[in-house]
Amino acid sequence: MDNLNEYLGGRIIKTTDLKPETLMYLQNCGGEIVAATFKKNDKLFCRRCLMEIKKLPIKFQYCRNCINLGKIQIDEQLLITPTNLNFPQQEDYLVWDGQLTTNQTKGVRELILAFQQHCDHLVWAVTGAGKTEMIFPLIEQVLQQGQRIAICSPRVDVCIELFPRIQKVFPKTTVGLFHGRSEEPYHLTQIMLATVHQLIRFEKAFDVLVIDEVDSYPLAGNQMLHHAIKKAKKDVGMIVYLSATPPKELLTQVKQQKISITRLYQRFHGHPLPEPHCHLLLKPTQFWKINPRLRLLLKRLIKTKQRFMLFFPQIPAMKQFAKQLKKLYPLLTFVDVSSKDDQRLEKVQQFREQKVQGILTTTILERGVTFKKIMVIVLDAQAKEFSKTALIQIAGRAGRGKDSYDDQVHFYYQAYNQQIRLACDEIRYLNQQAKK
Ligand SMILES: [Zn+2]
């Protein structure tokens, strides 16, 4: 028989994808066979992604919404695999000798209270507040009760960065990392790290779901992914949302007291968020290949060996700039990364290990990455790609180390717009709140 571990735990699998003996065994363990679709208000919906199936002008109708996870035809059957699982009891779960700040400790208390009351909870923590450490005690509680937890982010880089940290502090617990590009096939683990997309494959599988970076692409405004989160949770369970820039909808739910909230305005080292320096460029970034004002900045960076992150709104502009940079300053070492770059992870690692002085990037690195002693520079900050949220997240890449809390942030633009103003205002507001 197949390795059953690869199926257990609330997975939604097409019955035709299973060998008959495996199917029978999973059914005997409590697996449930269901139709691939259901009707509501005369409309047809997909059981896996919960989205409406629109009629196509072909013979065999299927769900187009979740086609990336494999085709489901409307007359098929699905197996929801068993979730009545037993995980081994351990003496100790969390092995971590770090210390939480007073603010973090208060947050942990609020989180655990929400867990006990099965109430969804939002943690609004500024960038660099140490929200990951805050969920350690929550994970420990979940494990102690023999329950199962998933920690998900819309962004694969965030999952990959989080995985070794979780593995390290829960050394005896099974931890899995699953995303569209992972080579490891799914198997049952008590802690699962995954992209939010993977949740589409689950139904009532997790007691607790932690959704990191809830405001980021592609989760923001994506109905299918929001359905997937709710569907993957057991009936009695909780969802924890983590964000430095929470979306309006969640804050509205907090106001309506549908979910509880922890506010963490202070960074773990107790220093304020670096406030951006704003610079109006009268000529475009590419003026004379590289705008002379930017050249002055670059020369200063090279002279002082200051490490830097340079953000661009789009890949072509970044590539063009990289070319000029190489020509003008052949001794400067740097890498450039984007969502289309297969070597992104390796390049980011090179920068982290200080093998290069600078990194040129699109908004792909706006969040989820931590570097120390860096200057953060945004070019064409007025571009539509730089939303208020993106600018706040980008500025939050600076000042993350205890010994480099005052890293500088610079916004360069050709027009001061609403987004730049709102981002700067919010950073100032958060710093004021942290003082209270
Ligand atoms: Zn579907």
Domains of the chain plus CATH, in order, are: 4-80 (no CATH), 102-264 (3.40.50.300), 277-429 (3.40.50.300)
**30 C-alpha vs ligand 1 centroid, how far in Å?**
23
Omega within 30 of 0 (cis) for the link into 330: no
**189 C-alpha vs ligand 1 centroid, how far in Å?**
25
Average pLDDT, the chain: 95
Element (H, E) at 233: strand 233-243
Q: Are 47 and 200 in contact (CB under 8 A)?
A: no
**147 C-alpha vs ligand 1 centroid, how far in Å?**
28
SS3 378: strand
**66 C-alpha vs ligand 1 centroid, how far in Å?**
4
**121 C-alpha vs ligand 1 centroid, how far in Å?**
28
Average pLDDT over residues 135-164: 94
**87 C-alpha vs ligand 1 centroid, how far in Å?**
31
Q: Which residues surround ligand 1, an ion (CB under 5 A)?
A: 46, 48-49, 63, 65-66
What does the buried/exposed string (b/e) look like for 223-247 if buried means 16 or more CB atoms within 10 Å of the residue's CB? ebbbbbbebbbbeebbbbbbbbbbb
Instruction: Tell which residue, 56, 10, 61, 339, has the closest CA to residue 201.
Output: 10
* Choice between 260 and 157, residue whose per-residue pLDDT is larger: 260
The number of C-alpha atoms within 13 Å of 265 and in the hemisphere containing its C-beta is 11
Distances (CA, A) of 270 to 102, 136, 370, 402: 10, 20, 17, 9
**191 C-alpha vs ligand 1 centroid, how far in Å?**
25
The number of C-alpha atoms within 13 Å of 354 and in the hemisphere containing its C-beta is 7
Any idea what DSSP says for residue 385?
Answer: T
pTM of the predicted protein model: 0.91
**323 C-alpha vs ligand 1 centroid, how far in Å?**
44
**386 C-alpha vs ligand 1 centroid, how far in Å?**
32
Tell me, rounded to whole angstroms, the distance of Cα 31 from its chain centroid.
31
| Listed range (2-11, 19-28, 249-258, 330-339) with the worst mean pLDDT | 2-11
pLDDT band at 216 (very low <50, low <70, confident <90, very high): confident
SS3 197: helix
Q: CA 92 to CA 142: how far, in whole Å?
A: 13
**10 C-alpha vs ligand 1 centroid, how far in Å?**
16
Q: Say what percent of the chain tops pLDDT 70.
A: 100
pLDDT at 154: 93
Tokens of 104: 């973090």
Q: Are 52 and 45 in contact (CB under 8 A)?
A: yes
Count of C-beta atoms within a 10 Å radius of residue 86: 6
Q: Are 125 and 131 in contact (CB under 8 A)?
A: yes
**80 C-alpha vs ligand 1 centroid, how far in Å?**
15
Given a cut of 70, whether residue 220 has pLDDT beyond it is yes
**62 C-alpha vs ligand 1 centroid, how far in Å?**
8
Q: CA 16 to CA 322: how far, in whole Å?
A: 50
pLDDT at 242: 96
Distances (CA, A) of 410 to 362, 420, 427: 16, 11, 14
